[in-house]
Chain A
Amino acid sequence: MKAYLSIIKIRFNLLLQYRIAAFAGIVTQFFFGIIRVMVFYGFYSSTTGSVPIDYKVAISYIWLGQAMLGMIPWNGDSEIQDLIRTGNVTYELVRPMNLYNYWLARAFALRAAPTFLKSIPLFIIALLLPKEYRMELPPNILSVIGWIVTTFGALMISCTITNIINITTLYSISGDGIQRLLSAIVTLFSGMIVPLPLFPDRLKQILSYLPFSGLVDIPARFFTGKIIFNQLPKYFSFQIIWAILLYGLGQWILNRKLKDLIVQGG
C-alpha cells in the first residue's frame, strides 16, 4: 500500500509543477464554458415549450463540468503510453507489484492533481460572473455532501477507464484510435457537452445505466439539488459497482496481454 501512496505522491508533485499548463487549461476551459453557456442562453430564451431542467440548473451543470474537466477520462497516461512505445515498460515488469494497481495509482494522480489545481480558480470565476451566466451555489449543505461523495465515485470510474486506455496501448502500440473513440463517447455520454437531462427520454434511460453518467451527470445533479440527499446510497453504489466492474475488466485484459507480451528490440 505504501508503494502506491508513494507513486501517487510523486506523480502529484510532478503534475503540480505544470503551472503554465494549468493556467492555459483554465483559460480554455473558461472560454468553452462561456460559449456553451451562451448557446444555452439563446436556446432557453427562445423556447416556448416545457424544459426538463431550468436555465439556472443547466448553467451550473455546465460550469461544474468545465471545472472538473481534468477528471474526465478522455485520454490515457501519456507517460505510461510512452513507456509502452519505447519498451521501457520492461522495467515495470521487473517490479514486485501488481502492474494494474501500479498504473491505477498513477491514473489517480493524473486525474486528481490537475483537477485539484484547475477547479478552484474556475469555481471562483464562475461564481463571480454576471448574473445570467453565473454558477449557482448548491441549495443546501446536504447537496454539497452528496456532490463530494459522488465526485469521489466519479473519480473511481474515471481512473478505471483511464487505466483501460493505458492497457489497450499494449495491444495497439499507438493507442490513438481507442483514445479518440473514447473521448467522443465519454464527453457526450457523461453530460459534458449537453447535460443528460436534456437528452431524449429513451436515450436518457439507456445512458443512466452506463458508467459515463457517473462521471459528470450524477455529481452535477447532486450539486444542483436535482437529486435529493437520501438518494445518495443508491447513486453512489451505482458508481462503485461500475468502478469495480471496470477494475475487473482492466485486470482481465492486462493479464491476458501479459501472457504473450513481447518487448521488442535489444
Chain B
Amino acid sequence: MDIVANELSKVYKIPKRKAGIMNGLKSMVHREYEEIVALNKVSFEIGKGELVGYIGPNGAGKSTSIKILSGILTPDSGECKVLDKIPYKDRINYVKNIGVVFGQRTQLWWDLPVIDSFELLKDIYKIRFGDYVKMKKELIKWLNLESFINTPVRQLSLGQKMRCELAASLLHSPSILFLDEPTIGLDAISKLAVREFIKKLNKERGVTVILTTHDMDDIETLCDRVIVIGKGEILSDGSLKSLRNRVSNERRLILDFEQGKNTFSIEGATLVREEKNRLIIDFNPDIITPANLITALSTKYKIKDILIENPPIEEVIAQLYEELKI
C-alpha cells in the first residue's frame, strides 16, 4: 500500500467575531473560538499505481486531507503512512518522494522564465544532472511546453501555467502525485491536455495519483476509484459504477421524434425534461427494460433517434450530497 490513512482527525479553531464595534472591543479581551471539524476519523488505503478521485463539496475536508498527506499539516489524532513514512513527522525526508500541485497556488517564480524555476527545483531536489535533462525533455514534450519555456511566468495564460506547474512538480520523478484541483479555471482544451497527461503518467509511469476536483469530467475520464468526502467523513469509496448504483440505477433515454402526442405516462420511467421534438427520460431498467420502453414510446411518437446513457456524474453527486444532507 502506498498510502494508509488511519482515523485521521483535524479540528480547526477559528476565532469568532460578531459584527459591531462593541463586539470588536470585546474580542480584544476575550476571544471566543468556534471549532470546525475538518476531518473526522477518515480512513482509507490507496495502492501503488492507483488513480483515485477525491471529491466532495467545498469545505468537505479534501484540501485538509491532501495537506496532511503531503506533510504540511499535522492531524489532531489518527495516523497516516505514505510510502512507509509519516509525512508530518519526517517532512524534509519524506517530500522528496512526492509531487504536489495546488491548483489555486503557484510554485513558479513570477518574474522569471519557467526554465529558471525548473533549474532551481533541480538544485533544491538535488536531481542528478542526467536525470534532470532527461525528465525535463520528456515533460516538455508531453505537456507541450517548448514554445513558452523561456517566457516569464507572469506572461503565461492560466492553461500554460498549469502545465508548467505540473511539470515543476514532477521533475524529481516522484512516485506519488497529489493534485488539488488541477483543472480549476482552465478552458476545455487545456483541461483535455492536463487530463491526457495525468492519464499517461499513471499508465506509463505507474505514478500513484490522488486527485481532488469539482469537475466531474475529470473524474469520469480519469478515475477508476472515487472517494467521496463530506463534512469531514468518508461517505463512499469505490468504483464510479458502484457510486452510480448507490444513488440510483436509473439510466437516461434521449428521444428525438418528428411528431407525437404530448402525454407521457409509462410505469418505471419519468420525464425529466421536454424540449422541442425531444424528450429526456429517466427509467429504471429493473421495472422496464429499454426494449419495452422503446416499444411503448414508439406507439405514441414517430421516433427519429434514440440515445441511452448513464445519468451525468454531476447529477449523481448532487443527488448523493442531497441524500446525505451535506
Chain A interface residues toward B at CB < 8 A: 2-3, 5-7, 10, 14, 17, 86-88, 90-91, 93-98, 259-263, 265-266
What residues of A have a CB within 8 angstroms of the CB of B120 in the complex?
3, 6-7, 10
Closest to A5 in B: B123
Q: Do the beta carbons of B126 and A263 come within 8 Å of each other? A: no
What residues of B have a CB within 8 angstroms of the CB of A259 in the complex?
74
What residues of B have a CB within 8 angstroms of the CB of A91 in the complex?
100, 102, 105-107
What residues of A have a CB within 8 angstroms of the CB of B71 in the complex?
93-94
What residues of A have a CB within 8 angstroms of the CB of B119 in the complex?
6
Q: Do the beta carbons of B107 and A266 come within 8 Å of each other? A: no
Interface size on B, as a range, is: 20 to 34
Q: Do the beta carbons of A88 and B106 come within 8 Å of each other? A: yes
With A10-B116, A93-B91: A265-B104 Cβ-Cβ less than 8 Å: yes
Which 7 pairs of residues, A with B, have the shortest CB-CB distance?
A91-B107, A6-B123, A3-B123, A96-B96, A3-B124, A93-B72, A88-B105
> Once bound together, how far apart are the Cα atoms of A158 and B43, in whole Å?
47
Q: Do the beta carbons of B95 and A96 come within 8 Å of each other? A: yes
Q: Do the beta carbons of A10 and B107 come within 8 Å of each other? A: no
Q: Does B191 contact A (CB under 8 A)?
A: no
> Once bound together, how far apart are the Cα atoms of A94 and B67, in whole Å?
10
Contact of A96 among B102, B105, B125 (CB under 8 A): B125
> Once bound together, how far apart are the Cα atoms of A88 and B117, in whole Å?
15
What residues of B have a CB within 8 angstroms of the CB of A93 in the complex?
71-72, 91, 95
Closest to B111 in A: A14
With A6-B119, A86-B105: A97-B111 Cβ-Cβ less than 8 Å: no
Min CB distance, A110 to chain B, in Å? 14
What residues of A have a CB within 8 angstroms of the CB of B91 in the complex?
93
Contact of A262 among B73, B104, B112 (CB under 8 A): B73
Min CB distance, B303 to chain A, in Å? 46
Instruction: List 11 contacting pairs A-B, 8 Å CB cutoff, sorted by A.
Output: A3-B120, A14-B111, A88-B105, A91-B105, A91-B106, A93-B91, A94-B98, A262-B12, A263-B67, A263-B72, A266-B181
Q: Do the beta carbons of B105 and A98 come within 8 Å of each other? A: no
What residues of A have a CB within 8 angstroms of the CB of B21 in the complex?
none
> Once bound together, how far apart are the Cα atoms of A260 and B72, in whole Å?
10
What residues of A have a CB within 8 angstroms of the CB of B123 in the complex?
2-3, 5-6
Q: Do the beta carbons of A90 and B124 come within 8 Å of each other? A: no
Min CB distance, B193 to chain A, in Å? 22
> Once bound together, how far apart are the Cα atoms of A17 and B104, in whole Å?
28
The contact string, 1 if C-beta is below 8 Å from chain A, for chain B 106-135, is 110101100010011001111000000000
With A96-B95, A261-B72: A10-B100 Cβ-Cβ less than 8 Å: no
Q: Do the beta carbons of B124 and A266 come within 8 Å of each other? A: no
Contact of B72 among A2, A5, A17, A94 (CB under 8 A): A94
> Once bound together, how far apart are the Cα atoms of A3 and B125, in whole Å?
8
